[in-house]
Amino acid sequence: MIKNTDDENPETPTTPGMNQTARGIIVLIGAVLIHITLGVLYCFGNFSTYLVSFLRSRTSYDDIRFTNTQWILTLTVCGQGTTMVVGGLLERKIGTRLTILFGCVFHTLTAALSFYAVHSFYSLIITYGLLFGFGIGIAYSPSMTLAMKWLPTYKGVVAGSVVAGFGMGAMVFNPVITTFINPNNTSPEYAPYPDHPSEKYFKDPENKAILDNVPYCFLVMAAFFVGLQTIGNLLLKRAPVIFEDFYESGDNGVSPSLQQDSTASSHLLQEAASGEMSPLQIIKHRDFWILWFTFVCNNQGICYVSTYWKSFGQGFISDDLFLAAVGSAGSIGNAISRIIWGGFGDKLGFKVAMCILQALFALLHVVMYFTSLHGKWGYAIFVFCLFFCVGGSFSLLPAATIRRFGTLHSTANYGLVFTAAVVGSLLNLLIANVAIGHGMSQQHVQWIVAAFLVIGCINSAFFKFRGCPCVRQRSEDYGYSSVPYSE
């Protein structure tokens, strides 16, 4: 029997529905607050303008470019992807809330350590890249699945709401970063590469005050993380016993507390046992690899937009505060989209919703280069639409994973699906560096990304899962029962 060190007195399934729903909403709010801090990685497109300029002016890396610093975001995603599985295993050893707390502490400490690491590019990609991603990965899935367990009828909407907090990270922290580092709204003017005139940087001594603020920004962000994560963790509570008992089953696969009322719960246990799949089982399943490859393809667009949205806009917009506001508006689109796409997944099924998402995302990449013809407001609307597509994967994929493979191993299972982000990020880094290094324009890179999204759309169309093995709705007898889920 696996030892879980969470509360000794979990919620009982006999709690009145309204009380449980209210408690679930509080847990959901806590999970959202935590995800807001984890979602600071979406600030990278804004923050990278200052980071690259600092590295060029204040360190020996005077020839570093935006394509090089994409390593930071790539390793963040790699760290997140590799530790999401670890987070699932850790959750079953020490409990959900301790796992979330450990991930939050690790996440905040690595941000603070980057105050020292920023003077070396290779140290920075370890602290603000790989290790930062470790903290995100450990806390990411447990906080989301905990909220889903409290509100099991609305898995898609709950998943969308929690990861909407992740998308809102840029809305909260982009203004903090820009206002702290660049309070006078100075635009970069130094363009060292004639072949890429839109690639501009800040430079000493003209922008000394801006560059001086860059290291201290890590400490400012860490302070915000402490406040929001403390409140978020205090709002979390262990899930109802009907779910937690699945984690603490006895040798015969039936939890001790549910054995005490076998008549009331026998049908529930039978359904759960027949539908749950472990990580070792899902990697042999066709649907897992469809979800995995879908994520690889989608991650081409996610990484490109997250890294280059600001540097692309700087080519024709000389207003740094406006660009930061565009990033914040994009994060609102990112956040809202996760709830909306989650609702689409609930109503239309994963396959239809995902194919619509990928087709729209591909179209936006095809026409992205021409947004410069429509001025800064046209660009702002376009960035909002791009981030609206970015968020969809992070609500549709976790909900589909839980519906298809069950709740018991949900954190570890989604962690395996998320390893696709590691492969996708490395692939996007390779594409961007090779393409730009061989003289290709950003437009060509955007079209390559669009091609991957079209391939992903075709792949998603082969997802044929019917029926939901997961426990989804409340039952009259003992809390929950399964309902059909159709693609």
The rounded distance, in Å, linking the Cα atoms of 416 and 421 is 10
Tokens standing for 458?
Answer: 């075709």
Q: Are 239 and 150 in contact (CB under 8 A)?
A: yes
Neighbouring-strand partners of residue 473: 481
The rounded distance, in Å, linking the Cα atoms of 358 and 390 is 10
Residue 362's pLDDT is 94
- Residue 476 per-residue DSSP state: T
Which residue type, as a one-letter code, is found at position 384? Answer: F
Model pTM above 0.85: no
Residue 388's pLDDT is 92
Three-state DSSP class for 276?
coil
Task: Report, as ranges of residue numbers, the positions in the chain whose pLDDT lies below 50.
Answer: 1-17, 243-274, 466-487
The rounded distance, in Å, linking the Cα atoms of 92 and 102 is 14
Give me the residue label for tokens 């590799």: 82
Q: Are 386 and 327 in contact (CB under 8 A)?
A: no
Neighbouring-strand partners of residue 201: 190
- Tens of pLDDT along 213-245? 999 999 999 999 999 999 999 999 887 665 444
Residue 481's pLDDT is 34
Name the nearest CA neighbour of 170 among 37, 77, 43.
Answer: 43
Distances in whole angstroms, Cα of residue 209 to Cα of each of 120, 148, 205, 216: 20, 46, 9, 12
Residue 275's pLDDT is 65
Which residue type, as a one-letter code, is found at position 83? Answer: T
Give me the residue label for tokens 């540097």: 311
The length of the chain in residues reads 487
The rounded distance, in Å, linking the Cα atoms of 413 and 391 is 20
Q: To 10 degrees, what angle do helices 393-405 and 410-437 make?
A: 140
Please give the sequence-ordered ranges of beta strands (E in DSSP) within 294-367, or none if there are none.
Answer: none
The rounded distance, in Å, linking the Cα atoms of 72 and 315 is 23
Residue 479's pLDDT is 35
Q: Are 50 and 182 in contact (CB under 8 A)?
A: yes
Cis peptide before 13 (omega within 30 of 0): no
Name the nearest CA neighbour of 91 among 394, 415, 402.
Answer: 415
The rounded distance, in Å, linking the Cα atoms of 26 and 10 is 16
Residue 431's pLDDT is 85
